[in-house]
Amino acid sequence: MSATQFFLGANTPEGFVSLFNELYDPYDDWKMYIIKGGPGTGKSSLMKAAAKEADKRGFDVELVPCSSDPLSLDGIIIPQLKTAVADGTSPHVIDPVFPGVCEETINMGQYWDSEKLRGSSQEIRRITIQNSNEHKKCVKYLKAARILDCDTAKIIKPLINYEKAERFAERTGEKELGKKLSKPCKIQKRFLSALTPLGIAVEYDTVKNLCDRIISIKDEYGIASSAILKMLAEKAKEKNIDMILCYCPMNPAEKLEHIIFPELKLCFTTSNSYHPLILKADKTVHADRFINQSQLKESKNKLLFIKKTRTEILGEAIKKLEAAKAAHDVLESYYISAMDFEGASKETEKLVKNIFKDDVSRET
C-alpha cells in the first residue's frame, strides 16, 4: 500500500507534543473513531486493517506512525470519507467534541481478562513506571540539546541578512507559487521528522509520493532556512495556496523544517547532517549565502563544539527511547497474553464495516 505518512506526535524538549487536533474537523461532518485500550490490545492492527481496506477501495490514506515505535500506528486519516481513526490513549488523549454525532469510542479493553492482568499487577505497575521514567530521561536530554540550539541561534541570527533572505523568498514565491487562487487557503500542521528509538526518522517517501519537485535549502543550523520557509508560507497564504507546514520536533512551536504544497506537487525542505535529503533535489539553495561568512568564521570552533556535544546528547536521548520501547514491549506481552483476540478481530470487522458502509455518499 502506497500511503502518505506524517507524524502527529513528537518527542520534544517540552515532552510529548501532540498535533492530534489536526486529525479531523468536528465542525465539518467528519467521523472520528477513538480507540481506547492498553498496549498490545490490537489498536494498531485495527487501524492497519482499516487503512488496507481504504486502499483496496481506492481511497487516499494518511498513516500516522507512532514516534515512540515507528512500526506501529497512532492513527489513520481517510480524507475522501472525512473519516479518521486514532489511538486516544495517553499521551495523545482525544476528548470528543460531539460524542456519538462526530466521535465514537471503541473500547478494546472489553476483550482483556482483568483477572489475569491483576495477577501480574506488580510487574505491570513496575514496567509502566519504568517506561514513563525512560521518557522523562529522554526529555531531560532533549532539553539540554535545546539549550545548545539556543546558543547556536544567538550566534547565527545576528549574522543573517534578512533583507536578502526576504528578497529571495519574494522572488521564489512569485516564480514557484504561481497566481493567487480564489478559494480559501487550507493549512495543515505535521511533523515530517521525529526522534524515535530507531534514530531520527524522516518520511521522505511522503515527499516522493506527494511532490514532483523538491527545492532543498541546505542549512546546517536550520535557522536561515526556517526564516525563509516562514516567508514563503506567508506568500502562499496571500495567494490562497494549500500547504502542509512541517515543524522541527526540537522547536515545534516556532521552527519550520519543510513545507509541502500538495496542489503544486512542490516541497521545500531543509537539509543538513541531522536529516540529509536522500531524494534528488530539483534545486539546491545554500543558506550560507544569507549568512555573513567572515563573521561566522570567528565562531566556527564554538559551533563545532556545540554540534559535537548536541549530537552526543541526541544519541543519549535515542538510547532512552530505546529503553522505553523495550519496557513497552514487555508491557505489551502481559496484555497480549490476557487478550481475547477473536473478540478483538470481530471489533475490527465491525469498525471496517461501519467506515465503508456509505462510502459513496461520503466521498468529497
Q: Give per-residue pLDDT as tens, 177-219.
A: 999 999 999 999 999 999 999 999 999 999 999 999 999 999 9
d(CA 270, CA 218): 6
Residue 85 has pLDDT above 70, yes or no: yes
Residue 336 has pLDDT above 60, yes or no: yes
Residue 142 has pLDDT above 90, yes or no: yes
Q: What is the mean pLDDT of residues 69-84?
A: 96
- pLDDT for 108 equals 96
Looking at every residue in the chain, the average pLDDT score rounds to 95
- Provide the residue type at 205 as one letter: D
Q: What is the mean pLDDT of residues 66-78?
A: 96
d(CA 158, CA 9): 32
Q: What is the mean pLDDT of residues 31-59?
A: 95
Distances (CA, A) of 275 to 139, 246, 349: 20, 14, 39
The pLDDT confidence band at residue 360, using thresholds 50, 70 and 90, is low
Q: Which residues contact 353 (CB under 8 A, 6 or more apart)?
A: none
- pLDDT for 358 equals 74
Q: Give per-residue pLDDT as tens, 229-287.
A: 999 999 999 999 999 999 999 999 999 999 999 999 999 999 999 999 999 999 999 99
Residue 101 has pLDDT above 50, yes or no: yes
- pLDDT for 364 equals 43
Taking the domains of the chain in order of start, what are their residue ranges?
A: 4-111+341-362, 161-291
Neighbouring CB atoms inside 10 A of 327's CB total: 20
| Cell numbers that stand for 196 in this block | 524515535
d(CA 46, CA 211): 29
pTM value is 0.94
- pLDDT for 177 equals 96
- Provide the residue type at 300 as one letter: K
- pLDDT for 9 equals 96
The pLDDT confidence band at residue 23, using thresholds 50, 70 and 90, is very high
The pLDDT confidence band at residue 362, using thresholds 50, 70 and 90, is very low
CA–centroid distance for 155 within its chain: 29
- pLDDT for 128 equals 97
Q: What is the mean pLDDT of residues 54-79?
A: 95
Neighbouring CB atoms inside 10 A of 212's CB total: 10
The pLDDT confidence band at residue 152, using thresholds 50, 70 and 90, is very high
Q: Give per-residue pLDDT as tens, 301-314.
A: 999 999 999 999 99
d(CA 359, CA 364): 10
Q: Which residues contact 334 (CB under 8 A, 6 or more apart)?
A: 40, 117, 120, 123, 124, 127
